[in-house]
Structure 1
Amino acid sequence: MTVSTAIARLNAADPDFARHLDHLLSWESVSDDAVNQRVLDIIKAVRERGDAALVEFTQRFDGVDAKSIDDLILGRERLELALTRITEAQREALEKAANRVRLYHERQKQDSWQYTEADGTVLGQKVTPLDRAGLYVPGGKASYPSSVLMNAIPAKVAGVTEVVMVVPTPRGEVNELVLAAACIAGVDRVFTVGGAQAVAALAYGTESVPQVDKIVGPGNIYVATAKRHVFGQVGIDMIAGPSEILVVCDGQTDPDWIAMDLFSQAEHDEDAQAILVSPDAAFLDRVAASIDKLLPTMERAEIIEKSINGRGALIQVRDMQQAIEVANRIAPEHLELSVADPQAWLPQIRHAGAIFMGRHTSEALGDYCAGPNHVLPTSGTARFSSPLGVYDFQKRSSIIFCSEQGASELGHTASVLARGESLTAHARSAEYRILTQDKGN
């Protein structure tokens, strides 16, 4: 197999740099009309025929010989069996990663709070976990047990009563690592169903699949399209784009390390994006040489080659200050600050899903076992979005208790504003509570 790279070289001093960068970053998750209509048809069928539709679609799309929905349900004992089928090293790695993820996310828990004003009025916020969350997990060979941990554990830490997992098993192929991860993460129910039909089942419920409050987890274009359509009926985490990594380097890190860090995201798929920004032109040359040297040694070399050639870039900047400016402009999913003193630059980072500090902190550690969540905003959405966390599985209710005196005082303010909006019933509702001695004030 012959592989070669022709990674783009950009220079921030180029007058057309902004245009070239915008073109490099452009990506849209577009569902064509055929995909969109097929997803709508699948959702309609699941809503109308429930379990029967799930069985039919699983037979047709996944090649699974299921006679009834019972053939698509995995009990807790099956998840526990998976723990015995993986190697001891795999089990230990899953348990260690799960523990680190759990400890990190326990720090994110939000508690209810209240305060009392001088007149006895009480204001506050009640934090409540969702009743039920749905976790979509890709199946077959392209399956990610780490994603099970990252999606299920924050839900459990938040106090979600029931986590329901859906995972396709194409041609009956079951991934034992995924099931073992589900067992360790505390997943409550598992259905071996995938695609748009699984999303529809979670959103609307069937005779067997319970309706959930929120759907999280990655999937293909059919899954993403279905999540768009059911949003509003249920919550969703995000519509994720391809994986991204942006490395900012001062030129002092081993170029082989940087090349492999770029590969770590490029190997996900051809649309993944890997970018290096540095003020050192000679260092960019050394990394380019490392890319060419190491690429033939990679198992997923063809995918990496297409990703690097299609969406990768080596960007030269004036200095580290401009490197940070470019990083904020890109707002990457993963940002590596591969520099001597990353803490000094951290205050200037405004947009990034996850920030990996220093030369020894590879993005791959965050994918598996560092502790923070690896479900991150992509395609520039780090400008306004955050990593998946416990807060995504909690909802907040406002608490308002008015004392007699407090209702009387607030009634004056509400009355003026309500009448200004010509909402007389609002005004009179508030005015009824104004105490007699206050009405002239």
Structure 2
Amino acid sequence: MRDDASSVASPSAGGSPAAKRLAAIAERTSGGRMQEEMARVEAILTQVQTQGDQALLELTERFDGVRPDPLRIPRERLAAAWQATPAPLQEALRLAHQRILAFHQQQLPADLAITGPHGEQLGRRWRPVERAGLYVPGGRASYPSTVLMNAVPARVAGVQRLVMVTPPGPGGEPNATVLAAAHLAGVEEVYRVGGAQAIGALAYGTETIPRVDVISGPGNLYVTLAKKAVFGRVAIDSLAGPSEVLVIADHTARVDQVAADLLAQAEHDPLAAAILLTTSEALAAALPAALEAQLENHPRAEITRTALNDWGLIVVCDSLTQAARLSDCFAPEHLELLVEDPERLAEQIQHAGAIFMGPYTPEAVGDYLAGPNHTLPTSGTARFAGALSVETFLRHTSLIRFNREALEATGAAVISLAESEGLHSHAESVRRRLS
């Protein structure tokens, strides 16, 4: 879709066609249809909660056409998948693993210990969750990269038990490279189940699959809605999906590269969004033909065309500042800056899951091996959320130890505050220690 951003003067000026269209794209997974889909998801979750493994077998047979009995893939099968992986792909997986590991090792937070003015001890202690559930999508594509992006930060955090779920393929087995990546990342517990039913299994536990403390990993609409439904019973990383890219480009950008980057996102899913904000009329005019040329003989052309037709957008902006403001209104998952001075423009951006700067930084490098995590906030949630990280798999506990001097110095204030709230025994608990 082509639009004109000339009437947009600030992020709050939401009346332009471009701003309205961006808002509609951001809300593509909400509305009345989503209420119907949520009802379906809740029915699936209830079935899993009440029927356990039997529900997983029946639902997987219904949705995926196979009955995954047994549910668990033997560890020997994971090792065999790694051994059968071609050497160049093994090396690529090792490189990705090394880079992701190195980046996430820098994220480990330090415990905090402070001595107060009266000798009281205050602190914060970090500990990993005991069990983490890793969701790895399947279906339209396979994602060994997602195995690494979820398992590595969990391992760095110190999680002892990783429980991975992934949909079975047409022959009943998940993708072999996904299993190989699990072996490389040290994941020993893998189950052949996907969709909302897999999220239910991780949240509630079944006879075979243990209940976990946190669920991470992106998925389709039903996976995202299921994660939303079980949040509170179990922690989740974010509501990630469907995917999106927003490209800001100026006169220096090559149209074939812009087209390739937009298609790289659109090929994920019919609900994926691909948006160009540009100051170049020539680029905007040339892009449709460039897209069409690269869609010739594209192996995922049907999915890609659907995404572009429904959730694609080209906007011509008066300036890069205006483009940055529009981008912040959308708060994209992936933001590419194909401009002459990307670092300067990045300083103007407030809301984005990840920013890719310059012509040699396609979003694909972030998907696979740059280092930062590729599980990112979508649908505008980058306004308040960030990437999956080591902290996703950690919890922190406050540590407090007062001595008598500290309680005597602060007790009167505690008593006063407690009495102002009408909580008699709160005040009394301090008063009795001071009397």
Q: How big is the shift at 1:35? A: 4.3
AA partner of residue 397 (structure 1): T
Distance (Å, rounded) in 2 between the aligned partners of 1:210 and 1:23: 39
1:439 alignment partner in structure 2: none
Distance (Å, rounded) in 2 between the aligned partners of 1:269 and 1:49: 31
1:234-383 equivalence runs, <5 A:
234-383=234-383
The C-alpha deviation readout for 1:108-133, integer Å capped at 9, x for no partner, is: 11121101123210111011111100
Q: TM-score, normalised by structure 2?
A: 0.92
1:396 alignment partner in structure 2: 396
The answer to whether the 8 A contact 1:140-1:175 is kept is no
Distance (Å, rounded) in 2 between the aligned partners of 1:141 and 1:10: 34
Q: How big is the shift at 1:431? A: 1.9
Distance (Å, rounded) in 1 between the aligned partners of 2:43 and 2:25: 35
DSSP-derived class of the 1:432 partner: helix
DSSP-derived class of the 2:88 partner: helix
- Find out whether 1:123 has 2:125 as its counterpart: no
Distance (Å, rounded) in 2 between the aligned partners of 1:319 and 1:346: 14
Larger displacement relative to structure 2 (239-248 or 294-303): 294-303
The answer to whether the 8 A contact 1:408-1:433 is kept is no
Distance (Å, rounded) in 2 between the aligned partners of 1:90 and 1:334: 26
- Max radius of gyration: which structure? 1
* CA distance 1:64–1:28, change in 2 (3 Å): closer
The answer to whether the 8 A contact 1:217-1:237 is kept is yes
1:154 alignment partner in structure 2: 153
1:54 alignment partner in structure 2: 56
* CA distance 1:169–1:157, change in 2 (3 Å): same
Larger displacement relative to structure 2 (35-44 or 207-216): 35-44
The answer to whether the 8 A contact 1:94-1:181 is kept is yes
* CA distance 1:309–1:198, change in 2 (3 Å): closer
2:12 alignment partner in structure 1: none
1:3 alignment partner in structure 2: none
2:433 alignment partner in structure 1: 433
AA partner of residue 11 (structure 1): A
Larger displacement relative to structure 2 (236-245 or 386-395): 236-245
AA partner of residue 131 (structure 1): E
Distance (Å, rounded) in 2 between the aligned partners of 1:196 and 1:323: 37
Distance (Å, rounded) in 2 between the aligned partners of 1:34 and 1:248: 35
The answer to whether the 8 A contact 1:58-1:193 is kept is yes
1:109 alignment partner in structure 2: 108
Q: How big is the shift at 1:39? A: 3.4
The answer to whether the 8 A contact 1:109-1:391 is kept is yes
Percent identity over the alignment is 46
AA partner of residue 267 (structure 1): E
AA partner of residue 320 (structure 1): L
RMSD (Å) for aligned C-alpha atoms: 2.0
AA partner of residue 340 (structure 1): E
AA partner of residue 266 (structure 2): A
**Which residue among 2, 6, 24 is the counterpart of 1:12?**
6
Larger displacement relative to structure 2 (291-300 or 351-360): 291-300
Larger displacement relative to structure 2 (303-312 or 412-421): 303-312
The answer to whether the 8 A contact 1:8-1:309 is kept is no
AA partner of residue 405 (structure 1): E
Q: Which runs of 5+ in 1 are unaligned?
A: 1-6, 437-441
DSSP-derived class of the 2:127 partner: strand
1:40 alignment partner in structure 2: 42
Q: Which runs of 5+ in 2 are unaligned?
A: 9-14
Q: How big is the shift at 1:73? A: 1.2
* CA distance 1:40–1:328, change in 2 (3 Å): closer
The answer to whether the 8 A contact 2:68-2:168 is kept is no
* CA distance 1:102–1:38, change in 2 (3 Å): same
Q: How big is the shift at 1:161? A: 1.0
The C-alpha deviation readout for 1:276-333, integer Å capped at 9, x for no partner, is: 1122212222333322332225322232222222221221111122121112111111
Distance (Å, rounded) in 2 between the aligned partners of 1:20 and 1:368: 30
* CA distance 1:334–1:433, change in 2 (3 Å): same
1:423 alignment partner in structure 2: 423
The C-alpha deviation readout for 1:93-118, integer Å capped at 9, x for no partner, is: 11110111111111111121101123
Q: TM-score, normalised by structure 1?
A: 0.91
Larger displacement relative to structure 2 (215-224 or 369-378): 215-224
DSSP-derived class of the 1:433 partner: helix
The C-alpha deviation readout for 1:237-280, integer Å capped at 9, x for no partner, is: 22223211111112112111111111110111222111111222
The answer to whether the 8 A contact 2:151-2:162 is kept is yes
Distance (Å, rounded) in 1 between the aligned partners of 2:310 and 2:334: 19
Q: How big is the shift at 1:140? A: 4.7
* CA distance 1:40–1:345, change in 2 (3 Å): closer
* CA distance 1:264–1:115, change in 2 (3 Å): same
Number of paired residues? 426
* CA distance 1:159–1:254, change in 2 (3 Å): same
The answer to whether the 8 A contact 1:277-1:323 is kept is yes
* CA distance 1:319–1:45, change in 2 (3 Å): closer
The answer to whether the 8 A contact 1:242-1:378 is kept is yes
